[in-house]
């Protein structure tokens, strides 16, 4: 098997790790699907996620591919001025928690369109909020899908770019539709653990190399 993959230019270790990641992600979706019994379970994980798990999930989102590879690439290309990018979107998380998450929880709404319609008693405000959410979500998702297509095309030489976008999009859609917020939270926690190891192990060996 390893020889066959190597003959096609595919690194067996990367291929296995990618497959394991997909299996775990989809498995979490199926596992949490049985635990989502209501709208509250689906949209806000039943408000049962602890502070530690929430913090890990938010950290997993923050330490995403954008931070792990994108910011590192920008620092290498443009210098340390690029470090303002992660500082700014870290501040964005704080504003999100203060001005969006808190009011939504107090109001009892699950989404911003829910809050807009309930707060102003107007379906038109809901539609406007949906348009803004879709607009922002599109520009957030676009670079993620770009990275997904590029990464899979690198891991599996000869795989079309669009196929990587479709595969990753299908896995994400399946996980969200099955497990809702709880499934996404656990997936982000797993991502956080992987990324912490990915940061820590090279840092240890680089430190040993530099200090002896």
**DSSP type of residue 69:** I
Minimal CA–CA distance to 199: which of 108, 69, 5, 28?
69
Examine the pLDDT at 128 and tell me if it is beyond 80: yes
Percent of the chain with pLDDT over 70: 92
Query: Is the model's pTM score more than 0.85?
Result: no
Task: Let me know the angle formed at the C-alpha of 119 by 183 and 36, rounded to the nearest 5 degrees.
Answer: 20
161: pLDDT confidence band, cut at 50, 70 and 90?
A: confident
Q: What is the mean pLDDT of the chain?
A: 79
Instruction: Tell me the percentage of the chain whose pLDDT exceeds 90.
Output: 1
Could you tell me the two tokens for 176? 């969200």
d(CA 168, CA 44): 23
**pLDDT given for residue 65 in this prediction:** 66
According to DSSP, residue 87 is labeled: H
Contact (CB, 8 A) for 156 and 167: no
Confidence tier at 131 by pLDDT (50, 70, 90): very high
Our CA angle for 101, 176, 174, nearest 5°, is 170
Is residue 206 pLDDT above 80, yes or no? yes
110 within 8 A of 39, measured Cβ to Cβ: yes
Mean pLDDT score, 101-111: 79
């Amino acid at each position: 098997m390893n020889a066959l993959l190597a003959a096609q230019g595919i690194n067996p270790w990367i291929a296995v790790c990618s497959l394991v990641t997909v299996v775990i992600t989809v498995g979490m979706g199926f596992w949490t699907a049985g635990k989502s019994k209501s709208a509250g379970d689906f949209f806000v994980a039943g408000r049962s996620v602890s502070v530690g798990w929430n913090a890990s999930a938010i950290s997993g989102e923050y330490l995403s591919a954008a931070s792990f590879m994108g910011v590192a690439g920008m620092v290498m290309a443009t210098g340390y001025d690029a470090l303002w990018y992660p500082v700014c979107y870290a501040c964005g998380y704080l504003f999100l928690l203060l001005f969006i998450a808190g009011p939504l929880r107090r109001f009892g709404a699950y989404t911003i369109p829910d809050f807009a319609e309930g707060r102003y008693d107007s379906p038109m405000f809901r539609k406007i909020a949906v348009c803004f959410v879709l607009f922002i979500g599109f520009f957030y998702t676009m670079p993620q899908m770009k990275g997904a297509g590029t990464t899979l095309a690198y891991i599996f030489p000869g795989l079309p770019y669009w196929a990587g976008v479709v595969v990753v999009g299908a896995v994400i859609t399946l996980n969200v539709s099955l497990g809702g917020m709880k499934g996404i939270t656990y997936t982000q926690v797993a991502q956080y653990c992987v990324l912490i190891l990915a940061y820590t192990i090279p840092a240890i060996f680089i430190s040993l190399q530099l200090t002896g």
